[in-house]
Amino acid sequence: MKMHHVVLAAALFGAAAAAPAMAQSVVAPVTVDPAITRLQERVDDLERQLRQATGENERLQRERDVARADAERYEKMVNDLLAQQAAAAAAPPPEAAPAPKPAPKPAPKPAPAKSAEAPAAAPATTAASVPSAPTPTADPAAPAADPAAAYRAIRMQLMRGDTAGAEAGLRQWIAQFPNDAQAPEAKFWLGQTLLGRAANDEAAKVFVELLRSHPKAAIAPEAMGRLGVALTRMGQKAQGCAAFADVARRFPNAAPAVKARADEEAREAACPAG
């Protein structure tokens, strides 16, 4: 009986001694390859960049959609105004009341014939007609020159005050190089020359086309302000005031001077505040 107790005690002591070793083998830390860790971190970083890029692309797309919708709204408004003006010009004038018949004049007494010669008729004079738009001096079918050099020459015309020649040059340059990087600026200066000779309806169309084709161009905020000027001069105060307000609304990062000029023109047009 004593021997049995001794054997049982020895077995229990051996099991107790072996337990820590078994526990240590179970909870031993698993080593991870550092290369796998770096790869996982790189994958996480790429996923984060992809999410950021996707969000930025969605924001830019929303801005383009808003800009396109605004430009289309202005384009429809200008086209409607021009159609109304054309219809008014084509309408026949109202009939005037018939003029009263003049009273019969007494027959003149015959004058004594002093000479058989009649006095010479005075020469007729006509006023010289002034063309409403400049005539291009260059041949539109001529080979395309270097766009940068041609544009510099046109800008020199503007600086010299030759707005008629510059307008003709700008029209031809835009037709030849519609996709050039300086096309938005060229369209802006064409609109400016048109405003300078009070061709407000045509200027409005040029500025609208600029905003539709180049909504993110650096010159776009200024073009929006000049569109407001053209519309107010056409008698469309509400639409012009909306264009002045859109300078800050659509282009929050526009230069302070551009925003200040739009605000000043809005005050001159007596636009409602806010």
User: How is residue 270 annotated by DSSP?
Assistant: T
Compute the distance between CA of residue 157 and CA of residue 64 in angstroms, rounded to an integer: 34
The CA dihedral of 113, 114, 118, 120, to the nearest 10 degrees, is -150
Compute the distance between CA of residue 244 and CA of residue 272 in angstroms, rounded to an integer: 11
Compute the distance between CA of residue 6 and CA of residue 8 in angstroms, rounded to an integer: 6
Q: How far is CA 215 from the centre of its chain?
A: 4
Matching residue, tokens 């969000």? 55
Which region among 45-49, 82-86, 140-144, 180-184 has the lowest average model confidence (pLDDT)? 140-144
Compute the distance between CA of residue 165 and CA of residue 167 in angstroms, rounded to an integer: 5
Q: How far is CA 157 from the centre of its chain?
A: 25
Asked if 195 and 226 touch (Cβ cutoff 8 Å), the reply is yes
Residue bearing the bigger pLDDT, 273 or 61: 273
- 218-235 pLDDT tens trace: 999 999 999 999 999 999
Radius of gyration of the chain (CA): 42
Q: Which amino acid is at 194?
A: L
Compute the distance between CA of residue 112 and CA of residue 242 in angstroms, rounded to an integer: 76
Asked if 166 and 193 touch (Cβ cutoff 8 Å), the reply is yes
Asked if 176 and 148 touch (Cβ cutoff 8 Å), the reply is no
pLDDT score, position 70: 65
Q: Is 24 exposed, middle or buried (0-12, 13-18, 19+ CB in 10 A)?
A: exposed
The two tokens of residue 200 are 């407000």
88: nearest Cα among 12, 253, 201, 230? 201
Question: How confident is residue 140, by pLDDT bands cut at 50, 70 and 90?
Answer: very low
Does position 62 have pLDDT exceeding 70, yes or no?
Answer: no
Which region among 51-55, 82-86, 121-125 has the lowest average model confidence (pLDDT)? 121-125
Compute the distance between CA of residue 225 and CA of residue 265 in angstroms, rounded to an integer: 8
Specify the long-range contacts of residues 162-165, CB closer than 8 Å, at least 24 apart. Answer: 163/193, 163/196, 163/197, 164/134, 165/134, 165/137
Does position 186 have pLDDT exceeding 50, yes or no?
Answer: yes
Asked if 229 and 259 touch (Cβ cutoff 8 Å), the reply is no
Q: What DSSP element (H or E) covers 93? A: none
Residue bearing the bigger pLDDT, 138 or 185: 185
- 235 φψ region: left (φ > 0), alpha (ψ -120 to 50), beta (else): left
Arithmetic mean of pLDDT over the chain? 75
Does position 26 have pLDDT exceeding 80, yes or no?
Answer: no
